[in-house]
């Protein structure tokens, strides 16, 4: 009989998540019933945003709050290994909102799964990163929302993260100046060396972030792709050009706070510059995923775009890898591989 290993939420994180907030347990796998499938999870996608749902009472119309002692909710890429559901035959590959676990049972009517698209020849892990929500967020953020133009300046926070590592590269493809913000000199160097960023600002190593951005963006900021929020957002707003577009994609600053931090105190600068700030949730562009994925693969195949992954192995690495993101240890998309 197969055994399933799951990661439980052992305790709610206080501030930055730490390893002992999570615990791995083993359970036997029950028989599946009619209509159900057994899924072997091959990869787990780690997203800082899930930290939000680890807060007590944080549930909303999108997702319920996670409960202590329960498996941690997450997004996986899995393969159907047993099926009593004709719509999900053996071997089907699914992206599915289940738990941090090696095996999941689904009734197949859960709205939280999508089959992997056909017709694209890419490594599976790409569907969690550059071809998944994070890559697509970068793509639609810069096209539909940011409308980045040739010769403009793109500023990206969390520039070495899952979204930022794609956004900066797409900025270069569009002929913009890509400027990244990251949290260490080493990361800043990698932004320029590996991702083609024109300049990078280490926000931890400056007294005046606003002035540092100004220096890195001599022509001002036309598009700011925000994955961080908080003081970085405020500093970016100080540097926007007329008709600038700000894309609110993430706010990792807030995820580990119990009380939300004050917002930027300079929104008046949006008025003066007739600038726009827009929330981004890429699933609103679902009908164009196919187009976007083909475009992204074309760029990868022509060598203009690279998939950057922060990959770990095994269920015991899931909690630690999640914590790594909040300490800025990751570079690229954080993924844990569970099986081939």
CB atoms near residue 338 (< 10 Å): 22
Q: Which is nearer to a second copy, 67 or 254 (CB)?
A: 254
Q: Which residues from 279-298 bind a second copy, rule CB under 8 A?
A: 279-281, 284
The minimum distance between CB 210 and a second copy, in angstroms, equals 13
CB of residue 151 vs a second copy: minimum separation in angstroms? Answer: 21
The closest of 164, 166, 207 to 182, measured between CA atoms, is 164
* Residues 240-279, interacting with a second copy (CB under 8 A): 248-251, 254, 260-279
Binding segment (CB under 8 A) for a second copy, from list 64-72, 96-104, 165-173, 229-237 = 229-237
The residues pairing with 80 across neighbouring beta strands, listed in sequence order, are 39
C-alpha torsion angle, residues 185, 189, 191, 194 (rounded to 10): -150
Nearest approach, Cβ of residue 52 and a second copy (Å): 8
**Window 44-103: residues binding a second copy (CB under 8 A):** 60, 62
d(CA 111, CA 62): 12
Q: Which residue, 101, 88, 97, 103, is CA-closest to 64?
A: 97
* Shortest Å, Cβ 265 to a second copy: 4
Cβ distance to a second copy smaller for residue 106 or 285: 285
Q: Is 318 in the site for a second copy (CB under 8 A)?
A: no
Q: How far apart are CA 157 and CA 169, in angstroms?
A: 13
The residues, ordered by sequence, that sit 6+ positions from 171 with a Cβ below 8 Å of its Cβ are 142, 148, 154, 156, 177, 178, 223
Shortest Cβ 162–a second copy spacing (Å)? 16
At residue 98's C-alpha, the angle toward residues 93 and 104, to 5°, is: 65
Q: Which residues bind a second copy (CB under 8 A)?
A: 60, 62, 229, 233-234, 248-251, 254, 260-281, 284
């Amino acid at each position: 009989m197969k055994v399933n290993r799951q990661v439980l939420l052992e305790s709610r994180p206080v501030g930055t998540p730490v390893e002992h907030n999570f615990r791995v347990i083993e359970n036997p796998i029950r028989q599946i019933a009619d209509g159900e499938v057994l899924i072997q999870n091959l990869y787990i996608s780690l997203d800082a945003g899930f930290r939000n749902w680890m807060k007590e009472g944080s549930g909303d119309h999108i997702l319920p709050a996670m409960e202590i002692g329960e498996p941690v909710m997450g997004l996986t890429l899995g393969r159907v290994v047993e099926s009593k559901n004709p719509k999900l035959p053996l071997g089907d590959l699914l992206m599915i909102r289940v738990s941090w676990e090696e095996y999941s049972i689904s009734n197949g009517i859960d709205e939280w799964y999508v089959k992997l698209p056909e017709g694209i020849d890419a490594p599976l892990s790409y569907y969690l990163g550059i071809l998944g929500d994070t890559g697509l967020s970068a793509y639609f953020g810069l096209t539909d929302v940011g409308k980045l133009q040739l010769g403009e300046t793109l500023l990206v926070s969390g520039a070495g993260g899952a979204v930022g590592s794609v956004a900066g590269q797409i900025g270069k493809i569009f002929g913009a100046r890509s400027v990244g913000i990251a949290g260490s000199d080493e990361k800043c160097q990698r932004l320029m060396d590996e991702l083609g960023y024109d300049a990078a600002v280490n926000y931890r190593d400056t007294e005046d972030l606003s002035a540092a951005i100004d220096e890195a963006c001599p022509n001002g900021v036309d598009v700011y792709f925000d994955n961080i929020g908080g003081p970085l957002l405020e500093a970016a707003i100080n540097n926007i050009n007329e008709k600038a577009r700000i894309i609110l994609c993430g706010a990792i600053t807030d995820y580990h706070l119990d009380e939300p931090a004050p917002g930027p105190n300079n929104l008046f600068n949006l008025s003066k510059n007739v600038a726009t700030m827009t929330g981004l949730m890429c699933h609103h562009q679902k009908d164009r995923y196919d187009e976007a994925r083909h475009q992204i693969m074309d760029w990868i195949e022509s060598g203009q775009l690279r998939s950057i992954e922060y990959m770990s192995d095994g269920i015991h690495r899931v909690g630690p890898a999640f914590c790594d993101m909040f300490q800025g240890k990751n570079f690229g998309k954080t993924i844990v591989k569970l099986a081939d």
